[in-house]
């Protein structure tokens, strides 16, 4: 989840936000609305996760307009939020108490109901009056920026639409196979078994139904993993889960196919015996390969998580020492 990613990258996130606010901090922003908007434009060009920029006075009242980013464009609206009382907001309480750059923990934004972080720092005016520069950032966009995932996220709706179309197409194939299988089943029930070929007809029906089941499982996996569920492409377990479910459905289908060929051989179609043995051997080999893949993948992820925890503990220890 996005909160888990935040805790993994908490230190670089906070350092980045502090550096942005420190870089644009200028007492001229307090009264110069055009300068504030220009600063917002400059920041948004480099950091698309920035949402809002404004200034508070010593009493926590907003003394500048909102400079907001909407769809990558900085809003030109005037008198937005002027005079709003923000003295009870957590970021104002923290920055006033510490008199340094602060970054809040994630919270739900009242503006758009998204998770965001607020960075604030004090500014000392010429008349020795304290003011506070405040910057809001969208947490999800910020994490995507740090992971280099911004461009992929823009195409994510298209990817989901394509996967949805493919999944629904597979379900259509399943419906066609089931219609054919049920039609053959009805014919088998109506017409009595008279020849050796008629004896093998139920196995043909089972093969079609098994194929439909395998395709349905594949369509279900595709829709769940790629469309309905959130998938973290940077987490190895997500990719391993999808691959495991896909291969498991194939193994089940291949195993049933091999079993049916064995039954055919037992009923006299001995020419299928070698094929049945080969199919069952393939299913067993796929099962072993899947087990090795899951085991090695789980160990690799465990080692990676352990290394991250050690690195994070060392960083926290260095911060405490400093």
What is the reported pLDDT for 162? Answer: 93
- Examine the domain organization and report whether 36 and 23 are in the same domain: yes
- Per-residue pLDDT at 197 exceeds 80: no
pLDDT band at 125 (very low <50, low <70, confident <90, very high): low
275 exposure class (CB count in 10 Å sphere: 0-12, 13-18, 19+)? middle
The tens digit of pLDDT for each residue in 279-314 reads: 888 888 989 998 898 888 888 777 777 776 776 666
- Per-residue pLDDT at 66 exceeds 90: no
- Examine the domain organization and report whether 164 and 262 are in the same domain: yes
| Listed residue (218, 25, 206) closest to 125, CA to CA | 25
pLDDT average, residue stretch 143-169: 84
Domain hosting residue 46, numbered range: 2-146
**Residue 249 · residue 214 · CB < 8 Å:** yes
Out of 85, 119, 146, a domain closes at 146
CATH number at residue 33: 3.30.450.20
- Examine the domain organization and report whether 129 and 216 are in the same domain: no
- Examine the domain organization and report whether 258 and 169 are in the same domain: yes
pLDDT average, residue stretch 242-252: 81
- Examine the domain organization and report whether 118 and 260 are in the same domain: no
Give phi and psi for 92, each to the nearest 5. Answer: -70, -40
pLDDT average, residue stretch 208-228: 84
| Listed residue (92, 96, 94, 105) closest to 14, CA to CA | 105
What is the reported pLDDT for 176? Answer: 93
- Examine the domain organization and report whether 169 and 299 are in the same domain: yes
Helices 273-321 and 10-24 sit at what angle, rounded to 10 degrees? 50
- Per-residue pLDDT at 53 exceeds 70: yes
Give the three-state DSSP class for 130.
strand
What is the reported pLDDT for 166? Answer: 92
Out of 117, 146, 175, a domain closes at 146
- Examine the domain organization and report whether 41 and 25 are in the same domain: yes
Whole-angstrom Cα distance, residue 308 to residue 123? 36
How many domains, the chain? 2
What is the reported pLDDT for 196? Answer: 61
What is the reported pLDDT for 235? Answer: 66
- Examine the domain organization and report whether 196 and 285 are in the same domain: yes
pLDDT average, residue stretch 223-238: 74
- Examine the domain organization and report whether 88 and 216 are in the same domain: no
Q: What length does the chain have?
A: 322
- Examine the domain organization and report whether 184 and 310 are in the same domain: yes
pLDDT band at 179 (very low <50, low <70, confident <90, very high): very high
Strand partners, 118: 136
Whole-angstrom Cα distance, residue 292 to residue 47? 42
Q: Is the dihedral of CA 188, 192, 197, 203 positive or negative?
A: positive
Tokens 């796929």 correspond to 286
- Examine the domain organization and report whether 168 and 126 are in the same domain: no
Q: Output the average pLDDT for the chain.
A: 79
What the block records as the tokens of 146 is 């740090």
pTM beyond 0.75: no
pLDDT band at 3 (very low <50, low <70, confident <90, very high): confident
265 vs 219, which has greater pLDDT? 219
Query: Residue 173 has what DSSP assignment?
Result: H
Whole-angstrom Cα distance, residue 17 to residue 119? 7
Out of 146, 173, 189, a domain closes at 146
Whole-angstrom Cα distance, residue 147 to residue 153? 11
pLDDT average, residue stretch 220-224: 85
- Examine the domain organization and report whether 290 and 222 are in the same domain: yes
Looking at the chain, list the stretches that DSSP marks H as alpha helix, in order from N- to C-terminal side. 2-8, 10-24, 33-46, 90-98, 139-146, 150-190, 196-223, 236-266, 273-321
What is the reported pLDDT for 100? Answer: 83
What is the reported pLDDT for 146? Answer: 82
- Number of neighbours of residue 41 by Cβ within 10 angstroms: 13
Strand partners, 70: 73
Whole-angstrom Cα distance, residue 163 to residue 238? 16
What is the reported pLDDT for 312? Answer: 66
What the block records as the tokens of 164 is 């949805």
- Per-residue pLDDT at 108 exceeds 80: yes
């Amino acid at each position: 989840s996005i909160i888990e990613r935040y805790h993994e990258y908490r230190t670089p996130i906070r350092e980045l936000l502090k550096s942005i606010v420190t870089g644009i901090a200028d007492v001229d922003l307090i009264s110069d609305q055009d300068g504030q908007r220009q600063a917002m434009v400059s920041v948004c060009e480099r950091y698309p996760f920035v949402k809002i920029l404004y200034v508070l006075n010593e009493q926590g009242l907003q003394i500048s307009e909102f400079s907001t980013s909407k769809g990558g464009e900085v809003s030109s609206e005037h008198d937005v939020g002027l005079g709003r009382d923000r003295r009870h907001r957590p970021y104002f309480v923290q920055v006033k108490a510490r008199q340094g750059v602060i970054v809040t923990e994630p919270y739900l934004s009242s503006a758009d109901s998204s998770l965001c972080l607020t960075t604030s720092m004090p500014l000392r005016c010429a008349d020795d009056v304290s003011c506070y520069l405040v910057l809001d950032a969208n947490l999800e966009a910020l994490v995507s920026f740090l992971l280099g995932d911004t461009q992929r996220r823009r195409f994510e709706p298209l990817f989901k639409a394509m996967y949805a179309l493919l999944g629904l197409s597979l379900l259509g194939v399943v419906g066609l196979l089931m219609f054919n299988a049920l039609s053959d089943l009805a014919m088998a029930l109506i017409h009595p078994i008279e020849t050796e070929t008629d004896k093998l007809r139920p196995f043909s029906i089972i093969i079609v139904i098994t194929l439909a089941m395998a395709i349905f499982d594949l369509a279900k996996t595709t829709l769940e993993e790629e469309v309905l569920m959130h998938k973290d492409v940077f987490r190895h377990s997500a990719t391993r889960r999808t691959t495991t479910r896909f291969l498991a459905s194939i193994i089940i289908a291949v195993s049933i196919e091999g079993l049916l060929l064995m039954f055919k051989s037992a009923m006299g179609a001995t020419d299928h015996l070698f094929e049945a043995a080969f199919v069952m051997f393939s299913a067993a080999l796929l099962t072993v390969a899947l087990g090795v893949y899951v085991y090695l993948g789980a160990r690799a992820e465990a080692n990676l998580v352990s290394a991250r925890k050690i690195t994070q503990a060392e960083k926290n220890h260095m911060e405490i020492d400093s």
